[in-house]
Structure 1
Amino acid sequence: MALRPVQVNIKAVDGLAVGRFWAEALGWSVFSPGVTTYVGPAGTTAGADGADGPVWPEPVGLGIDIVPVPESKSPAKNRLHLDLATTFTTHQAELIARLQSLGATPVDVGQGDVPWTVLADPEGNEFCVLEPREIDRDTGPIAAVVVDCVDPRAMAGFWGEAIDWAVLELSDDHASLRSAEGVGPYLEFLRTPGVKAVPDRIHLDLLPYPGEDKEAEVGRLRGLGAGDLDLGQGDVPWTCLVDPEGHEFCVLALS
């Protein structure tokens, strides 16, 4: 029994505008079939009405689902952010310039003198544009989903059991997980001062594999230390939970 991460969920006041930004940033497409805006690689799967749609879930990486909310982002730094991959030094500089032309702004989160650049999307969600790294050669445009936490070892223990990704690195300051197939982005946990103080603006959505029982998976997560989360979501097909440090995530239902 296991779950797989299938998308990064971002809350936004203007979901379509934020979706368009991330589509341009990643070289992907925008799909807006309903309330949310999905960003992913261009798909060739036709829906029931014959219209082209996205391949979902994205078979190698993680898509992005933008959910409209009325509240703007708080000034607090998000506890989860994306790292974007680059392939060579001039690519990093070109990508940073292009992102700023799309509405990204430089952000100082106390990073100091580092080889990566910290930016924020048009609604203030922080992300990093990494310098070229050999380990990111086959990740796709999203190199990593990075989570600030108090105890990376404990987070790796929980998430290593929760999803079907393998733990690759483990120390007191950093833990890294990746798909057992060795493709797509990493999930990283970084020891960071402070604890979660505001609701998450960005979170992961997980999905059971075909043939697996969603409610059984949710029960298994509770047994690992996940807690229930009431966001006023009402009667919906997904289940909202928090990990042992309070990071929000959802378990989606198979369609």
Structure 2
Amino acid sequence: MSTVVSLPCTDESLFSKLIFEMNVQIFIPCFIDQLYPSVGFNMVKVLEKAGCNVSYNTNQTCCGQAGFNAGFWGESKDVCKKFLKDFSGNDYIVGPSASCVGFVKNYYEKLFENTIQQAEVEDIKKRIYEFSDFLVNVLHYTDFNASFNATATYHDSCAALRECHIKQEPRTLLKNVKGLQLVEMNDVETCCGFGGSFAVKFEPISIAMADQKITNAIETNAEYIISTDMSCLMHIDGCIKNKQVNLKVLHLADVLANF
């Protein structure tokens, strides 16, 4: 039996501005859970400030993307069935990863075509959102009174752009952060070179792509690279440390939670 941990909003003044509470289940991808848990906590903090009643199903695991991308469609399908079960219901589902959310939105229908799960897939596609997309286009909440005194540039992940159709949403949120100077880098929509197993199978190409992304970021005089995807940032950060340059990475949720 799954366990749901309720994380109620503590800022009662915000509820006076809302007609009703928005119930949200958070989806925490594998690498966020294992490597960057602070991103998940900061996402909850921001969602609560926006007036959401947040819950976390501790039974959740992977969305199935890793197995699918590696060609193990049968094994991936089993994981995806569990995901459909874990996130059944009527609540919105919000995740801090356009890559994982994009996989659910775009590839579950391929795996479950002509199966009894088709209706569940169509339902979950309507309820699952990447973090910035949900804040801007569902909640219409774009200013969290956050402060972050730094110069930063933004990295568009391939999944955000091409699978979730997110471009302006994170920028809209960041432009409302006090003290943050956002500067666009050249070739901002070009891949960083991660691509999951691509970075392992084609390491020299992957590193060269990340190096170019870092060079473009440095040319803006940015102190930080911000993105919606920690998978991209993990790859970029590894190359930053190898190059020993003065540049840091931050997830969007980490910036917005500075209030």
Larger Rg computed on CA atoms = 2
Query: More helix by proportion, 1 or 2?
Result: 2
Structure 2 length normalisation: TM-score?
0.26
